[in-house]
Amino acid sequence: MPAFLKTYSPKEGYRVEIKHTDLLSLQQGRLSLLREAVIAGKKPSEIGLPGIENDVNVLVCTATVVDAQGCIVRSASASAKIQGFKDFEALETAADQLLLAALGFGGEIFNEDEDRELQTLGRTLDAGEGARASPAGDSTQAPVEQAS
């Protein structure tokens, strides 16, 4: 954090903004289709749409660095199914870590946490595809494969 705060100092007008939303709100097209299905008296599955059963309690947290002029420097998002208070805390931490890694700070900590989370989910990264945020701030998210 000291290196991050030195580079993006609040004294120079930088700030980190955290925003939360539900997953479906970010999918406006799907939300519109679901709304139309309900208005027409149809179940989403009757017209080939996935329902919202798997999206219940899934939140998205976005952490954004904003400069003194209000311009976005960089943002990063994470999503998680929230079943308890610690899940919400872990979601915010994940978004913060992704943001720091995208800016070139603390990627090694992010890698350890990400690997632990993937193990908890029973998933692994494909060999050779474990791309991480680079010090230059370019981030790529590696595909996740189901463990066999």
Cβ neighbours for 114, distance < 8 A, ≥ 6 positions apart: none
**Domain coordinates in residue numbering, the chain:** 2-22+58-146
Confidence of residue 136 (pLDDT cuts 50, 70, 90): very low
Could you report the per-residue pLDDT of 31-83, keeping only the tens digit for each? 898 889 889 999 888 888 887 777 778 999 999 999 999 999 999 999 999 99
- As a whole number, mean pLDDT of residues 117-127 equals 57
Report the mean per-residue pLDDT for the chain: 78
More confident residue, 143 or 78: 78
Q: pTM of the full predicted structure?
A: 0.66
Q: Given this model, what pLDDT does residue 142 score?
A: 33
C-alpha of 136 from chain center? 20
Q: Rounded to an integer, what distance in angstroms lies between the CA atom of residue 123 and that of residue 54?
A: 18
Could you report the per-residue pLDDT of 89-103, keeping only the tens digit for each? 999 999 999 999 999
